[in-house]
């Protein structure tokens, strides 16, 4: 990750965690769907 996030800001740190978790969940869902298709 990069861009405009400043780590010393607790709010942005929380946001990064949320986005990271959402991304992992999304990947899991996509993997499950792909697995179901086969």
Domains of the chain, residue spans: 9-38
pTM, entire model: 0.48
For 1-38, write each residue's pLDDT tens digit: 455 555 566 777 888 888 889 888 888 887 777 777 65
Q: What DSSP letter does each residue of the chain carry, written as one string?
A: --SS--TT-HHHHHHHHHHHHHHHHHHHHHHHHHHHH-
What pLDDT score does 7 carry? 57
pLDDT at 30: 78
**Is-contact 33 18, C-beta < 8 A?**
no
């Amino acid at each position: 990750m990069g861009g405009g996030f400043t780590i010393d800001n607790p709010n942005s740190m929380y946001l990064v965690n949320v986005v990271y978790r959402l991304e992992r969940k999304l990947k899991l869902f996509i993997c499950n769907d792909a697995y179901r298709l086969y």
